[in-house]
């Protein structure tokens, strides 16, 4: 009897212990019930052990790594970005003096015109410590006086070294000591998605920096310039930014801000900059020779559409259709005819009219280019003598 009571007591104790253990596991360590069968395992790193954000020097160390701030890049570039103030005298007619009654009373004794001073604002970039400033042609076009305001507060008059309306580039020179100069980058290495910052003087409020990315490269057919190879960016560019700097994450100059696409006159996230490689080439020629040398053949070219390609027996749309040839021009003298399809220049395939225009314009005058193409279904090759592009060409080449 006593032994049976002892077993009953022992069983109760074991059952109570198991119950306590089950409750402990259920409430305190529920993961023990699912060990080896977890669906999602999340590991959180305590904030004390997280790696610090990358510094400016680590920007290029690997994909996806970027700085917390671009202040170092901006600090490097902004001293070389200047504000440009222009003034020009314009003559306006006085409409009231054209009234027949005034003419009858006073005749021509009153002056029918009046002179006014028109001012405008823009931006520029100091390219060298010798005082050369790169800006847009439209910023200083027709100006009678040009004043440059540096970031350090100094102001001086600028002289025009030369301009190139076809690329919308102008080169100025200022005569001051201890000038800063921006670091020039390489616009050929740009990729869509790269960081871009625009520096300038929008609306005359003072030097301003806006941030974005490279949205596209090689933009043309925009009708802005004769020669177009624009960088597109969503970094805000507004009136007054023209001629200012477009820089990368290291503070290097990659473009000259030039134009915006806007329905309202303000930034809508579509801005265009002239690639620095193109601007530097134009600037160098202006400084060295006073003008830009560009090849010209005297032809009008247009892109091949699928319909045109089919009409001219082409298998694809690579190449350009010659739609016009200037009489007695280089192409005409070489035998190029309207209706010819040019597929290569100097052995290299051409994709469209814009590309062919750039290739030909980059040829030195008094040299020759070899044009390969198709005429009435038959392949041909012709060498054409390149001449200097006229100031106001009759036909685009």
Confidence (pLDDT) at 362: 85
Q: Which long-range contacts (CB under 8 A, 24 or more apart) does 101-104 make?
A: none
Residue whose C-alpha is closest to residue 231's, from 210, 243, 251, 246: 246
Span of 47-56, 241-250, 364-373 with lowest mean pLDDT:
47-56
The reply to whether 242 belongs to the active site is yes
Mean pLDDT, residues 370-377? 87
Confidence (pLDDT) at 105: 58
Confidence (pLDDT) at 265: 60
Span of 258-262, 373-377, 378-382 with lowest mean pLDDT:
258-262
Give the global pTM.
Answer: 0.70
pLDDT digits 0-9 by tens, 260-317: 766 666 666 788 999 999 999 999 999 998 888 888 899 888 888 888 877 877 777 7
Q: Which residue has the higher pLDDT, 186 or 93?
A: 186
Q: Which residue has the higher pLDDT, 365 or 10?
A: 365
Confidence (pLDDT) at 103: 62
Asked whether this chain's domains 187-289 and 295-388 adopt the same fold, the reply is no
Spell out the CATH class of 187-289: mainly beta
Spell out the CATH class of 77-173: mainly beta
Selecting among 123, 242, 267, 361, the annotated active-site residue is 242
Cβ atoms 134, 127 nearer than 8 A = yes
Confidence (pLDDT) at 58: 45
pLDDT digits 0-9 by tens, 53-109: 344 444 444 444 556 789 999 999 999 999 999 988 766 665 555 556 656 555 565
H/E segment holding residue 161: strand 159-164
Other C-beta atoms lying within 10 Å of the C-beta of residue 59: 18
Selecting among 85, 120, 123, 138, the annotated active-site residue is 138
Rounded mean pLDDT of the chain? 79
Domain ranges of the chain: 77-173, 187-289, 295-388
Task: Report how far residue 357's alpha carbon sits from residue 21's, in angstroms, rounded to the nearest whole number.
Answer: 85
Selecting among 168, 229, 234, 252, the annotated active-site residue is 168
Question: Confidence class of residue 52 from pLDDT cuts 50, 70 and 90?
Answer: very low
Q: Which residue has the higher pLDDT, 396 or 151?
A: 151
pLDDT at 385 over 50: yes
Q: Which residue has the higher pLDDT, 394 or 143?
A: 143
Confidence (pLDDT) at 148: 95
The two beta strands, 348-349 and 295-296, are: unpaired
Confidence (pLDDT) at 356: 86
Task: Report how far residue 124's alpha carbon sits from residue 80's, in angstroms, rounded to the nearest whole number.
Answer: 8
Q: Which residue has the higher pLDDT, 155 or 94?
A: 155
Span of 128-142, 212-226, 231-245, 324-338 with lowest mean pLDDT:
212-226
- Pick 295-388's CATH classification: 2.30.42.10, 3.30.499.10, 3.30.420.40, 1.10.287.130: 2.30.42.10
Most confident of 17-26, 85-94, 368-377: 368-377
Q: Which residue has the higher pLDDT, 124 or 105?
A: 124
Residues 134, 216, 303: CA angle, nearest 5 degrees: 95
Residues 369, 371, 377: CA angle, nearest 5 degrees: 170
CA-based end-to-end distance of the chain:
119
């Amino acid at each position: 009897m006593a032994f049976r009571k002892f077993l009953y007591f022992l069983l109760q104790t074991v059952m109570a212990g198991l119950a306590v253990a089950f409750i402990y596991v259920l409430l305190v360590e529920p993961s023990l019930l699912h060990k080896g069968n977890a669906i999602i395992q999340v590991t959180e790193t305590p904030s004390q052990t997280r790696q610090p954000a990358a510094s400016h020097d680590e920007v290029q160390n690997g994909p996806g790594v970027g700085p917390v701030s671009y202040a170092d890049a901006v600090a490097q570039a902004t001293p070389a970005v200047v504000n440009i103030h222009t003034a020009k005298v314009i003559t306006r007619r006085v409409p009231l003096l054209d009234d027949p009654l005034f003419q009858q009373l006073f005749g021509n004794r009153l002056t029918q015109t009046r002179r006014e001073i028109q001012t405008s604002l823009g931006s520029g970039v100091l390219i060298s410590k010798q005082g050369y400033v790169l800006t847009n042609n439209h910023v200083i076009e027709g100006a009678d006086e040009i004043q440059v305001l540096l970031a350090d507060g100094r102001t001086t008059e600028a002289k025009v070294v030369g301009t190139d309306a076809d690329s919308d580039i102008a080169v100025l020179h200022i005569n001051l000591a201890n000038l800063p100069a921006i670091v020039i980058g390489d616009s050929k290495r740009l990729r869509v998605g790269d960081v871009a910052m625009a520096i300038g003087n929008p609306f005359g409020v003072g030097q301003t920096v806006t941030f974005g990315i490279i949205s596209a490269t090689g933009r043309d057919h925009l009708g802005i310039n004769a020669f177009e190879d624009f960088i597109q960016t969503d970094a805000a560019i507004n009136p007054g930014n023209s001629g200012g700097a477009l820089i990368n994450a290291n503070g290097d100059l990659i473009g000259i801000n030039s134009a915006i696409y806007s329905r309202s006159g303000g930034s809508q996230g579509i801005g265009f900059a002239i690639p620095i490689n193109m601007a530097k080439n134009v600037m160098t020629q202006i400084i060295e020779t006073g003008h830009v040398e560009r090849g010209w053949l005297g032809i009008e070219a247009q892109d091949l559409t699928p319909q045109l390609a089919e009409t001219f027996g082409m298998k694809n749309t690579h190449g350009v259709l010659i739609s016009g040839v200037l009489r007695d021009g280089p192409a005409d003298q070489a035998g190029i005819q309207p209706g010819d399809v040019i597929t290569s220049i100097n052995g290299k395939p051409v994709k469209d009219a814009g590309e062919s225009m750039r290739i030909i314009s980059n040829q030195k005058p008094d040299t020759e280019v070899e044009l390969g193409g198709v005429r009435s279904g038959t392949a041909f090759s012709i060498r054409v003598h390149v001449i200097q592009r006229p100031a106001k060409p009759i036909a685009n080449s």
